[in-house]
């Protein structure tokens, strides 16, 4: 077993770290406070090839492996989780799904510009529309309908909590075509945001990842050409589940980065803050916290790498991606809380970044499958 990163992976890690320091750190507090979408940052990510990292170069991607993706997500998330979630959704929920299951025509038309993150010099990214007001964890209970009208489908319904909701040009939408068939009656469609009948709701005012744009999307008699259905009739739920398995590696890596960012801040603070006549790092109460943080972060990283390795090697990564996500997200919540505690009162104010990391950590236990859903996936796999 080789735990060393190879040369190219180290270069990507460094490029992501430099990007986070130089492009994301300036203004990150203001973007969080004012809920400003990180447009410039995402355009820069596109130029770096980070919006379609794992897509084959034939389709506009950078052709990198999933380990590199984990490394890039980790580094960017240490500083700016609002930017990294936009990157994660485009890479693993949108581009991966299209590359794995899209037709050749769909790949040429949609995947290629999505993997480049831009079209005609403008931002061009995607969103994944599964959740609904009444269907979150219970994803098979889709209420959005896609009525088969012959050479097109008629789409009606509402989707909730959509990351990249207003900035995306392309939506991958799951909808029920035949309710009698349950999950086998669900289809996935490629829908362009500017088609008639689509309304984007107001930007959600969130606890964390406040700069990312989360919206409801409403569909009223939207005509979707038949050739925009992804895969065979009734494949939509499996499409969503397979795609989410990869997405969970992205969110696990995001959680890993949030934890790492908070840990680094706490470590630096403990070396300069003095209390009771010495730097607080000399107090065992702080040392034990730092030791536990470092250990849990390392364990989370290894789980992310394992899931990424399995994905890169054509193995089933459903179990390992759920393990990585539940462990890394719970690590992020715990580490950020402890990091804030080490900072004392300073941790509670915005300038020190750690309170934002704690707020950002929470969503990693919720989106792309709650911790409870991950435990359903894990327990089913180990009990079957």
Q: Decide: 306 and 324 in contact? Cβ < 8 Å.
A: yes
User: Quick check: 166 binds ligand CAA (CB under 6 A)?
Assistant: no
Residues in binding contact with ligand CAA, number by CB under 6 A: 23
User: Quick check: 381 binds ligand CAA (CB under 6 A)?
Assistant: no
- Please state, as a whole number, how many other Cβ atoms lie within 10 Å of the Cβ of residue 167: 21
**Nearest distance in Å: CB 381, ligand CAA:** 9
**Nearest distance in Å: CB 162, ligand CAA:** 6
Q: Which of 269, 227, 275 is nearest to 102 (CA)?
A: 227
Among 128, 171, 219, 327, binds ligand CAA (CB under 6 A): 128
User: Quick check: 376 binds ligand CAA (CB under 6 A)?
Assistant: yes
By annotation, the residues acting in catalysis are 368
The one segment of 35-43, 133-141, 254-262, 340-348 that binds ligand CAA by CB under 6 A? 133-141
Dist. CA 202–CA 166, nearest whole Å: 9
Q: Which of 85, 76, 81 is nearest to 17 (CA)?
A: 76
Residues 244-283 that bind ligand CAA (CB under 6 A): 244-245
**Nearest distance in Å: CB 283, ligand CAA:** 39
Closest CB to ligand CAA among 173 and 293? 173
Point out which residues pair with 278 in neighbouring strands: 275
The one segment of 21-29, 70-78, 242-250, 299-307 that binds ligand CAA by CB under 6 A? 242-250
The one segment of 26-34, 276-284, 292-300, 372-380 that binds ligand CAA by CB under 6 A? 372-380
One-character DSSP codes across 4-47: PPPHHHHHHHHHHHHHIIIIISTTHHHHHHHT---HHHHHHHHH
Residue 104 backbone phi and psi in degrees, to 5: -60, -40
Q: Which residues of 110-146 are buried (b: 16+ CB within 10 A; e: fewer)?
A: bbbbbbbbbeeeebbbbbbbbbbeebbeebeebebbb
Closest CB to ligand CAA among 54 and 266? 54
Among 56, 242, 282, 375, binds ligand CAA (CB under 6 A): 242
**Nearest distance in Å: CB 181, ligand CAA:** 10
Among 28, 162, 211, 265, binds ligand CAA (CB under 6 A): 162
User: Quick check: 137 binds ligand CAA (CB under 6 A)?
Assistant: yes
Alpha carbon 370 to chain centroid distance? 13
Q: Decide: 124 and 116 in contact? Cβ < 8 Å.
A: yes
Closest CB to ligand CAA among 50 and 367? 367
Q: Which of 125, 77, 131 is nearest to 251 (CA)?
A: 77
Residues 173-212 that bind ligand CAA (CB under 6 A): 183
User: Quick check: 237 binds ligand CAA (CB under 6 A)?
Assistant: yes
User: Quick check: 373 binds ligand CAA (CB under 6 A)?
Assistant: yes
Enumerate the H helices of the chain as residue ranges: 7-19, 28-34, 39-48, 66-79, 81-88, 96-101, 104-106, 112-116, 236-272, 284-312, 318-343, 354-363, 371-383
Among 163, 169, 176, 336, binds ligand CAA (CB under 6 A): 163
User: Quick check: 374 binds ligand CAA (CB under 6 A)?
Assistant: no
Residues near ligand CAA (CB under 6 A): 89, 128, 130-131, 137, 139-140, 162-163, 183, 237-238, 241-242, 244-245, 318, 367-369, 373, 376-377
């Amino acid at each position: 077993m080789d735990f060393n990163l190879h040369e190219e992976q180290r270069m990507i890690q460094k490029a992501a770290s430099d990007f986070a320091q130089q492009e994301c750190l300036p203004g990150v507090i203001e973007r969080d406070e004012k809920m400003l979408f990180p447009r410039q940052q995402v355009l820069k990510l596109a130029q770096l090839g980070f919006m379609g990292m794992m897509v084959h170069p034939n389709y506009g991607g950078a052709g990198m492996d999933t380990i590199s993706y984990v490394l890039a997500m980790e580094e960017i998330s240490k500083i700016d989780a609002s930017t990294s979630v936009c990157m994660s959704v485009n890479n693993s929920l949108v581009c991966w799904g299209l590359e794995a299951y899209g037709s050749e025509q769909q790949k040429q038309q949609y995947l290629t510009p999505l993997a480049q993150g831009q079209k005609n010099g403008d931002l061009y990214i995607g969103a994944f529309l599964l959740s609904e007001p009444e269907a979150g964890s219970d994803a098979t209970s889709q209420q959005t309908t896609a009525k088969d009208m012959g050479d097109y489908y008629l789409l009606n319904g509402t989707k909730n909590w959509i990351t990249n909701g207003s900035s995306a040009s392309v939506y991958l939408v799951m909808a029920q075509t035949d309710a009698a068939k349950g999950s086998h009656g669900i289809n996935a469609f490629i829908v362009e945001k500017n088609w008639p009948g689509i309304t984007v709701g107001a930007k959600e005012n969130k606890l964390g990842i406040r700069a990312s744009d989360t919206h409801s999307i409403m569909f009223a008699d939207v005509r979707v050409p038949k050739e925009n259905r992804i895969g065979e009739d009734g494949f939509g739920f499996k499409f969503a589940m397979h795609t989410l398995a990869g997405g969970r590696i992205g969110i696990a890596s995001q959680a890993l980065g949030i934890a790492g960012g908070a840990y680094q801040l706490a470590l630096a603070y403990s070396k300069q803050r003095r209390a009771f006549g010495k730097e607080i790092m000399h107090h065992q109460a702080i040392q034990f916290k730092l030791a536990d943080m470092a250990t849990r972060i390392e364990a989370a990283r290894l789980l992310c790498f394992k899931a990424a390795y399995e994905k890169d090697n054509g193995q089933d990564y459903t179990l390992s991606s759920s393990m990585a996500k539940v462990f890394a997200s719970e690590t992020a919540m715990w580490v950020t809380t402890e990091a804030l505690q080490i900072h004392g009162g300073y941790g509670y104010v915005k300038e020190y970044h750690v309170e934002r990391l704690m707020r950002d950590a929470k969503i990693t236990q919720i989106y792309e499958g709650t911790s409870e859903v991950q435990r359903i996936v894990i327990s089913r796999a180990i009990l079957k």
